[in-house]
Chains A and B, each alone.
Chain A
Amino acid sequence: MWKHTNRHKVGYCLWLLFSLTMICNSAKAENYQELLLFPSLQIDFRNADEVSEQAAEGFDTDISADLFFALSYEKTRFLTEALASTEEIELERAQLGWEYQSGHRFWLGRFHSPLGYWNTQYNHSGYLQTSIHRPGITRFEDHGGVLPMHVAGLMGEGEATLGKGVLEYTFIYGVGSQMGNQELESTRLLNLREKGRGTNILGRLAYRPDETRLNQIAIFSGYTELDPEEGLETGVDQTIIGGYVVANHMSLQVIGDIFYVRNDVKTPTSQQSASFVAGYIHGEYGLTRSLTNYVRYEDSAGTTNDAYISLFKPFTKRALVIGLRYDWNSAHAFTTEISTSQDNGRTNTHGAIKWSAVFP
């Protein structure tokens, strides 16, 4: 445990040193570096209905800072993101890339999984996403998520003009999460040599009919081997297929995302297959220049008594989320949100308020 902790500290220090070195050495006009800090303060209020036997009531506070750094030097790219919060300190992304042709890049490192729209668009930046909470199906591994949101390995991505529009592609080959005790254990760059990291093959194709607008339609697919953590026996081979649509008109934006997930759950003595469908539709509308309200409906089918879902802490089967966000000075946002959700027969009512910002 001591060695494990020390290795992470050394890793973070090396990352910080490398980033600062790159800042100092980047001198040419066409080369650049970007540094963004996304701090946030979030307070969650929870209330479970009276029929629940395991009601968890109360509130908790999370303070976090997401630090993002990107560097471009000739055709080389470097990108990294680290999160420090009251719950954890983690290197979320670290990518070294090469732009071999304008608009086409290879990367090596740890990335956001391209499954769905939400993960690559927002990931850990609370300021960039309008709502406080992510849709349940896109939850992070260490927050009860049932899909791998981080992968380490090789990524190819790029865009190609298609008439007036653009086709964007992402392909990843690497290693991903493990099956832990009631949650996925996401892969970490410094732990890649650990045994039990299964293969992940993921891909996404997105088409934007007008390159200057945000409207798009996409399909994605993935195969992930969730091998059991040391000391555990249950592993899962997971196949994911899905798609999403993003539509914008004037002040209205609608995001719809759907996932079909098939799981082969394996133990030393048995194997069973199960599948479920989950998705959400998220709409937001700019009431004024500064005020945006939003509503999101999440639903799923086939999750009751599902052999894979039952391995996790309660999974949100259905949820309705509404909220209001106030943007101030193009750098600060204050958001309030109420949601009601159902998981495994329990109904939860949940409130939250959040301040998020971006510097500089």
Chain B
Amino acid sequence: MIASRITLFLFAIAILTMPFETLTAGEHELVVITSAKNSFAPIARDDLRRLFLGIKPKHTKIKITPINNKSENIMYEVFLQKVIRMSAVAYERHLLSKVFTHGTQRIKTAEEYNKLLKELEYNENAISFVWANDLKQNPKVRVVQSIWKGQISQ
């Protein structure tokens, strides 16, 4: 009885606290970016997925450091759908499990756009992902490749 009441309570909390984020409707392009100091070529799609899963890439020979960009929920969800092909919960628990089981290094995460730019500047050969529209001709970063282009309806 108590457990079922608690279940209903948790369900109500879940519904009420679901994130409602606003993003300008229209076409958006998700791109991989790196510091303007780096000059490596576009990364194979499979290697991109492997990097963000903490697995050694097959075709990319240089050591690349992936940084997850969680500054915006919808952008992060698009990245997870198009590249990782996992839900946020499954992905993040999977990464934690790898650290917990084998002691591997956790993939860095930036919660704010400005902090992301600083991480790209200070970490050699670091990559992340952003909306192309958010770059605003920033001379400190360059676009490595496009991941996805499409419409996001509000």
Contact = CB atoms under 8 A, between A and B. Distances in A.
Contact of B3 (A34, A102, A337): A337
B44 interface: no
Contacts of B7: 324, 336
B133 interface: no
A330 B103 contact: no
B10 interface: yes
A163 to B, nearest CB: 12
Contacts of B56: 102-103
Interface string A93-127: 00101000011000000000000000011110101
Contacts of A36: 96, 99-100
A289 B100 contact: no
B53 A212 contact: yes
Interface in A244-291: 251, 253, 286, 288-291
A220 interface: no
Nearest to A334: B10
Interface string A328-356: 10100010111000000000000111000
Interface in A41-69: 45, 68
Contacts of B3: 45, 336-338, 351-353
Given A34-B105, A128-B100, 12 more contacts: A34-B99, A97-B103, A102-B56, A121-B101, A127-B96, A214-B94, A253-B90, A289-B87, A291-B11, A326-B10, A326-B14, A336-B10
22 contacts: A29-B124, A32-B105, A36-B99, A45-B2, A70-B104, A78-B103, A103-B56, A122-B97, A128-B96, A128-B97, A128-B100, A288-B14, A289-B89, A290-B89, A291-B14, A292-B89, A326-B13, A327-B89, A330-B88, A351-B2, A352-B3, A358-B96
Interface of A: 29, 32, 34, 36, 45, 68, 70-72, 77-79, 95, 97, 102-103, 120-123, 125, 127-128, 211-212, 214, 251, 253, 286, 288-292, 324, 326-328, 330, 334, 336-338, 351-353, 358
